[in-house]
Amino acid sequence: MKHFFVDTNVLLDLLGKREPFGALAAQLLDMAVNREVTLYISALSFSHIDYILRKTIAAPERLYKMARLASMLAIVPVDRTVIEAALNLGFADFEDGLQYCAARTMPAIEAIVTRDPKGFASGTLPTLTPAAALTQLGG
């Protein structure tokens, strides 16, 4: 079974129904629900999702969606070690650095699924677009 870390932008596509990207994210999540892949998300992503979606989705629906997401994905903590690693990493975008360092704490993670591969280009962990991840999974 593959193990992928999912960047916040992919989850925003899903929850915000941002097409055509939301459909790819939904397929990926369906594969996780069917235990065809294990997907990970950083704890940090929940605050970003809430902040961005509060402009378009009412709180009860937003919280419901995030609770469902939390039940389907493995949540990776963002602690002092992750923050210090990101501060020393040198990524141009600190948030991408936090996501990357969180993903690196889980040895099973094989790649980061993102719509912004350039944000992780200086890391050693492979990046995949949602379409490429689905191709790897046979979906």
- Whether residue 101 is predicted with pLDDT greater than 90 in this model: the reply is yes
* Structural domain spans, the chain: 2-136
- Backbone φ and ψ of 125, nearest 5°: -80, 130
The CATH superfamily of 2-136 is 5'-nuclease (3.40.50.1010)
The b-or-e profile of 119-129 (16+ CB within 10 A means b, else e) is bbeebeeebbb
pLDDT tens, position by position, 21-42: 889 999 999 999 999 999 999 9
- pLDDT band for 112, please (50, 70, 90 cuts): very high
Q: What is the mean pLDDT of residues 59-81?
A: 96
HSE on the CB side for 119, CA within 13 Å?
19
Handedness of CA 19, 50, 32, 97 (dihedral sign): positive
Residue 100: predicted pLDDT: 97
